[in-house]
Amino acid sequence: GRPAPFVLRALRIALVVCLYWFTSITMVFLNKYLLDSPSLRLNAPLFVTFFQCALTAALCLGLSAGAACGPPGCPSLPALRLDPKVSRSVLPLSVVFIGMITSNNLCLKYVGVAFYNVGRSLTTVFNVLLSYVLLKQTTSLYALLACGVIIGGFWLGVDQEGAEGTLSWTGIFFGVLASMCVSLNAIYTKKVLPVVDGSIWRLTFYNNVNACVLFLPLMLLLGEFHTLYYFDKLGSPNFWGVMTLGGVFGFAIGYVTGLQIKFTSPLTHNVSGTAKACAQTVLAVVYFEETKSFLWWMSNLMVLGGSFAYTWVKGLEMRKEQEEPNLRNNEKNETGV
The full DSSP string for 111-161 is S-HHHHHHHTTTHHHHHHHHHHHHH-----HHHHHHHHHHHHHHHHHHHHH
- Angle at alpha carbon of residue 263, lines to 265 and 130, rounded to 5°: 35
Q: Quote the pLDDT of residue 160.
A: 93
Non-local CB neighbours of 5 within 8 Å, separated by 6+ positions: none
Whole-model pTM? 0.86
Residue 330 pLDDT exceeds 60: no
Single out the residue of 123, 99, 141, 115 nearest to residue 32, CA to CA: 115
Q: How confident is the model at residue 56 (pLDDT cuts 50, 70, 90)?
A: very high
Residues 237-295 have pLDDT tens digits of 999 999 999 999 989 988 888 788 778 777 677 778 888 988 999 999 999 888 899 99
* CA distance linking residue 123 with residue 179, whole number of Å: 4
Query: How many Cβ atoms are within 10 Å of 275's Cβ, its own excluded?
Result: 14
**Residues 110, 171: contact at Cβ < 8 Å?**
yes
Task: Please tell me the chain's helix, strand, coil percentages from 3-state DSSP, rounded to the nearest 5.
Answer: 80, 0, 20
**Chain Cα centroid distance, residue 209:** 18
Q: With 50 as the cut, is the pLDDT of residue 337 above it?
A: no
Alpha-carbon span 73 to 140, nearest angstrom: 47
The pLDDT-based confidence of 223 (bands split at 50, 70, 90) is very high
Q: Which residues fall within 8 angstroms of residue 149, CB to CB, at 6 or more apart? A: 302, 305, 306, 309
What are the Cα distances from residue 282, in Å, to 105, 182, 272? 20, 24, 15
Q: Read off the pLDDT band of 333 (50, 70, 90).
A: low
pLDDT band at residue 67 using 50, 70 and 90 as cut-offs: low
